[in-house]
Amino acid sequence: MSTYIDVDALTKVVLVSLLVGAGIPAVFALGVRALAPVEGGTSRSGVRVGAAVLCFAVCLAAVAYGVYRLVATGGH
Amino acid sequence: MTGLPLLVVVVVTALAFDFTNGFHDTANAMATSIATGALRPRVAVALSAVLNVVGAFLSLTVAATIAKGIVDQDVVTLSVVFGGLVGGILWNLVTWYFGLPSSSSHALIGGLVGAVLVAAGASGVEWAGLISKVIIPAVIAPVAAGLVALCGTWLVYRITRGLAGAERGREFRLGQIGSASLVSLAHGTNDAQKTMGIILLALIASGELPQDAGVPDWVVIACACAIGLGTYLGGWRVIRTLGKGLVDIESPQGLAAETSSAAVILVSSHFGYPLSTTHVASGSILGSGVGRRTPVRWGTARRMVVAWLVTLPAAAAVGASAEAVSRALGAAGNVVVLVALVLAATAIYLRSRRAPVDRHNVNDEWDEQAQRPAAPAMA
């Protein structure tokens, strides 16, 4: 079967996809969590807002890198 | 038909295929956003259309090849390309009628393989390439994307557990739109380029352009418009199946599914192992449902898998018939095939009007019972 399957490329595809494809939504969710009102607290603290901004910035950077890859390689 | 008339017919048919490619695949990017209400249906298809057009202009690394490594490039004549396109278009329309997300690339490759089999026999097909570049990736794509979406969805719900209204949160809807947009952009870049490559090949083969020519501007513009228009008209039947028929989708889950799709599509092309957008998107949505531990309508999933299995041979049968007719009837053959294609497309469209799916009823409750009678007809 290995003549038909590029095991090396496939392993990389699955691992990197897992890291990015599951990691970015998780980072996004952390951002949402940071922005959510805390029980008992009345206002959002600066630290939490900063953490949220950082999380969303990571997600935006990932999207920007995706677009860059498309432009640079044509998706090939 | 030979010379310039055949070239014109091939170019127009290629654009028609590009159009069906667009409307068949709108669902891959936008089904989840439409299902969760993150975007109103018409806004979703308009956004996806614009991004497909932009995507088509993004890269100019268009190769004048068609199914390279899958069929022998020397036997690819204009007539073979035409047969392949006819197979691809017809199969796209049939699967759209049944609301089944099947790969447009598979349909085109199937049509070509069929036409090549008639034109050059079994030796014209590179069978090892067909298995390693088409069939095995089709098995791997939904599984890999499903796994990624499953993990992503589980993480998202684990992290936001206990948050009030997290499921309907504005942030998740925005994130969902962003990730879906990236899928649309990647689709425009990949799929519009395939049609550009076909038209460029046809122009070179007929001597209109020199061997080393780049893709002319009018080809880029025409392909971008064809895929954009197709996307805007929206394959509502397929959108409905992916958005409502497989699993019930919430915004955080839609975000995870679309991010998984975008990641798998971009990462797989980066490592030289490109996977079908349709197979990836379907796998992602299914995986996200499993990750959230909601019931999956396996009946719908089974119909989709059957459609994927049938795509290659069915499109090949159409492509082979088209090429056989072209050969048997000589000069008039391509004209007969063209007329048959137009008649069949019109018939499928008219039949679809009996139970139309559009932006008004795309999100109606899914009735599994109503789907069953369609299954034997398709299988």
DSSP letter string, B126-181 = -HHHHIIIIIHHHHHHHHHHHHHHHHHHHHHHHHTTT-TTGGG-HHHHHHHHHHHH
Amino acid identity of residue A25, one-letter, is P
| CA-based nearest distance B232→chain A, Å | 22
- Subunit contact A20:B267, Cβ cutoff 8 A: yes
Instruction: Encode chain A (76 residues) as per-residue pLDDT tens digits.
Output: 567 777 888 888 899 999 999 999 999 999 998 888 766 555 668 888 899 999 999 999 999 998 888 888 765 5
Roughly what angle, to the nearest 10 degrees, separates helices A7-35 and B170-205?
150
- Does position B86 have pLDDT exceeding 90, yes or no? yes
Q: Is the pLDDT reported for residue B59 higher than 80?
A: no
What is the average per-residue pLDDT within B31-59?
92
Query: With an 8 Å Cβ cutoff, is A71 touching chain B?
Result: yes
- Span B165-207, pLDDT tens digits: 655 578 899 999 999 999 999 888 888 888 998 999 889 888 8
Cross-chain residue pair A32–B166, CB shorter than 8 Å: yes
Tokens of B125: 């097909």
For A71, which of B59, B166, B263 is closest by C-beta distance? B59
Quickly state the pLDDT bin for B373 (edges 50, 70, 90). Answer: very low
Q: Do A25 and B255 touch (CB under 8 A)?
A: yes
State the CB neighbour count (10 A cutoff) for residue B207. Answer: 10
Query: Which pTM value belongs to this model?
Result: 0.89
Q: Per mean pLDDT, which range of B158-172, B327-341, B363-377 is the poorest?
A: B363-377
Instruction: Quote the tokens at residue B291.
Output: 């990750």
Q: Other C-beta atoms within 10 Å of B125: how many?
A: 21
Straight-line distance from the first to the last Cα atom of chain B, in angstroms, rounded to the nearest whole number: 35
B191: number of Cβ within 10 Å: 27
pLDDT greater than 50 at residue B210: yes
The CA distance from B99 to the nearest CA of chain A, in Å, is: 27
Q: Does A24 touch chain B (CB under 8 A)?
A: yes
CB atoms within 10 A of CB B8: 13
What backbone torsions phi and psi does residue A4 show, to the nearest 5 degrees?
A: -100, -20
- From the list B142, B147, B176, B146, the residue with the least C-alpha distance to B249 is B176
d(CA B109, CA B35): 31
Chain B residue at shortest CA distance from A70: B186
Q: Which is higher by pLDDT, A4 or B156?
A: B156
A-B Cβ pairs (cutoff 8 Å, strict): 152
B297 sits in the region (left: phi over 0; alpha: psi -120 to 50; else beta) called beta
The mean pLDDT value of chain B amounts to 88
Tell me the HSE value of B136 on the side-chain side, using a 13 A CA sphere: 16
Q: Which residue of A has its CA nearest to B169?
A: A32
B189 contact residues in A (CB cutoff 8 A): 70, 74-75
Bridge partners (DSSP) of residue B21 are none
**Cβ of residue A10 closer than 8 Å to a chain B Cβ:** yes
- Alpha-carbon span B229 to B219, nearest angstrom: 15
Calculate helix-pair angle for B333-352, B298-329, nearest 10 degrees.
Answer: 150
Model pLDDT, residue B356: 86
* Residue reference for tokens 């994130």: B175
Alpha-carbon separation of residue B56 from A74, B101, B191, B243 (angstroms): 9, 22, 8, 25
- Angle (CA) B309-B257-B260 rounded to 5° is 85
DSSP B249-283: --HHHHHHHHHHHHHHHHHHHHTT----HHHHHHH
Q: Do A24 and B259 touch (CB under 8 A)?
A: yes
Amino acid B4: pLDDT = 86
Say what the pLDDT of residue B48 is. 95
Question: B178: part of which helix (H) or strand (E)?
Answer: helix B170-205
Query: How many angstroms separate the CA atoms of B241 and B372, rounded?
Result: 13
Pick from A35, A59, A75: CB nearest B189: A75
pLDDT of residue B372: 52
Give residue A74's pLDDT: 60
How distant is the Cα of A43 from the closest Cα of chain B, in angstroms? 16
pLDDT > 70 fraction of chain B, expressed in percent and rounded: 95
- Select the residue from A4, A12, A13, A56 to test the B interface by mutation, using most B Cβ atoms within 10 A: A13
Q: For residue A37, what is the nearest residue in chain B, using CA coordinates?
A: B163
Q: Which residue in chain A is spatially nearest to B256 when comparing CA positions?
A: A25
pLDDT digits (tens, 9 = 90+) for B304-317: 999 999 999 999 99
pLDDT in tens, B230-277: 999 988 999 999 999 999 899 999 999 999 999 999 888 888 777 889
| Whole-number pLDDT of residue B273 | 78
